[in-house]
Amino acid sequence: MKLKLNIWRQKNAKTDGKMTSYQLNHVEEDMSFLEMLDILNEDLILKGDDPVAFDHDCREGICGACSMTINGTPHGPEKETTTCQLHMRKFKDGQTINIEPFRAKAFPVIKDLVVDRNAFDRIMQKGGYISVRTGQAQDANNIPISKKNADLAMDAAACIGCGACVAACPNGAAMLFVSAKVNQFALLPQGQIERKERVIGMVNQMEAEGFGACTNHFECEAACPKSISVKFIAKLNTEYLKATLTKNSF
**pLDDT of res. 249:** 57
Cα separation, 241 vs 187, whole angstroms:
16
**pLDDT of res. 140:** 63
Cα separation, 117 vs 138, whole angstroms:
34
**pLDDT of res. 131:** 84
Residue 180 shares a structural domain with residue 65: no
Residue 209 shares a structural domain with residue 244: yes
Of 190, 227, 232, 199, the closest CA to residue 214 belongs to: 232
Residue 129 shares a structural domain with residue 54: no
Neighbours of 32 (CB within 10 A): 17
* DSSP line for 172-190: -B-HHHHHHHHHHHHTSGG
pLDDT means per 10 residues in the chain (250 residues)?
Answer: 97 96 96 97 97 95 93 96 96 97 96 97 94 70 84 96 97 98 93 94 97 95 97 97 81
Residue 91 shares a structural domain with residue 184: no
Counting the structural domains of the chain, the total is 2
CATH of the domain at 165: 1.10.1060.10
**pLDDT of res. 145:** 86
Judged on CB neighbours under 10 Å (0-12, 13-18, 19+), 12 is exposed
pTM of the model: 0.92
Residue 45 shares a structural domain with residue 139: no
Residue 97 shares a structural domain with residue 197: no
Residue 121 shares a structural domain with residue 216: yes
Domain containing residue 138: 117-249
Residue 32 shares a structural domain with residue 86: yes
Of 209, 130, 141, 223, the closest CA to residue 176 belongs to: 223
Tens digit of each residue's pLDDT (9 = 90 or more) over 82-124? 999 999 999 999 999 999 999 999 999 999 999 999 999 999 9
Residue 141 shares a structural domain with residue 236: yes
Cα separation, 63 vs 228, whole angstroms:
15
**pLDDT of res. 190:** 85
Residue 20 shares a structural domain with residue 73: yes
Cα separation, 244 vs 90, whole angstroms:
47
